[in-house]
Amino acid sequence: MSGLPFRLRALPLTARLGFTFVVGTLGVGLAASAAHLVGHHENRDEIPGLSMEDLTGAYHGVKVTAPLVVALERGHPDDLADADRDTLMAWLTGERVSEDYDSLDLGDAAPAEVLDAACLSCHSRQATAGDGIGQTVPLDYWDDVAKVAFSREVSPTDPKVLVASAHTHALTMGALTALVALLGLATRFARRAAPALVMVAGAALFCDLCCWFLARDAAWLVGAIAAAGTLWMGSMALLGVLVLMELWLPAEAD
Ligand code: HEC
């Protein structure tokens, strides 16, 4: 017999019921931590939804250039006079973005006036030109403009917080993975499927935790954090399924 020398199926009905609820509880826990992850990280870049940018912000830090600056730098819109482009760029890269938006002192050179003359034909909610861009990226009011006018820097999680988080996560997730692995190895799947999943879960967990630290210096490792985290979750969930199958499928014939 490979794996552990006993099978969960051989346990009394009461114990099998108990383990079923334990596996259910762990399933709820996994789902809750996935939801917590999304909620915890999604708003780092102030754009709803969990994106790679949110994760990169958390583990490595990112610099997000204001969409207005990006658009102006790539020469959008093509017919904007150079003087107006320079006015807008000087305003956006300066320190007084909100103060100078519709500063009376600047007269016609106030950014609000330039935007009004050069952009609102398309970027107004009422605009008929511009393929509806006025609905998705309106520039009518300061509240609209403010959403796309600021460049932001998202700093990675403070190292002290990271260490505090790692010390609980490494120990509890390590222990949890070991427990689920042992349960998986006490099933009829202990020959192939369970050991493979145990290998994936263990390796993914280790890689994930190491990358928390390494990604501070190498942004591409944030991708490894996401991939390893997904692999860990997936392999743990599959081990849980194997355990449930072992508990309730008819006993295997020896
Ligand atoms: C002729 C219509 C038109 C004019 C005028 C125009 N835009 Fe646009 N703009 C568009 C369209 C269409 C898009 C979406 C396609 C694209 O990104 O090129 C867009 C995209 C943008 C985006 C990118 C939004 C994003 O996805 O992040 C910004 C920012 C922007 N415009 C700013 C401006 C500013 C500032 C002005 C005035 C200086 C301006 N636009 C003038 C039509 C226009």
Q: pLDDT tens, 154-182?
A: 889 899 999 999 999 999 999 999 999 99
The burial class, CB within 10 Å (0-12 / 13-18 / 19+), for 48 is: exposed
Do 66 and 148 meet the contact criterion of CB atoms below 8 Å apart? yes
Residue nearest to ligand 1 atom 39, measured at CA: 119
Do 110 and 130 meet the contact criterion of CB atoms below 8 Å apart? no
Question: What pLDDT score does 109 carry?
Answer: 82
Question: What pLDDT score does 1 carry?
Answer: 57
pLDDT range class, residue 46, cuts 50, 70, 90 = low
How confident is the model over 75-85, as pLDDT tens digits? 999 999 999 99
CA of 68 to the centre of ligand 1 (A): 8
Q: Could you tell me which of 222, 66, 221, 57 has the C-alpha nearest to residue 154?
A: 57
Statement: residue 103 has pLDDT above 90: no
Do 20 and 130 meet the contact criterion of CB atoms below 8 Å apart? no
Q: Could you tell me which of 208, 205, 203, 210 has the C-alpha nearest to residue 176?
A: 205
Greater confidence (60 vs 50) lies with 60
Pocket of ligand 1 from Cβ distances under 6 Å = 67-68, 71, 76-77, 80, 115, 118-119, 121-123, 129-131, 133, 137, 148
Question: What pLDDT score does 114 carry?
Answer: 92
Q: Could you tell me which of 166, 198, 205 has the C-alpha nearest to residue 179?
A: 198
Do 182 and 4 meet the contact criterion of CB atoms below 8 Å apart? yes
How confident is the model over 210-244, as pLDDT tens digits? 999 999 999 999 999 999 999 999 999 999 999 99
Statement: residue 190 has pLDDT above 80: yes
Mean pLDDT of 133-153: 91
Which two three-digit tokens encode residue 94?
């300066």
Residue nearest to ligand 1 atom 8, measured at CA: 77
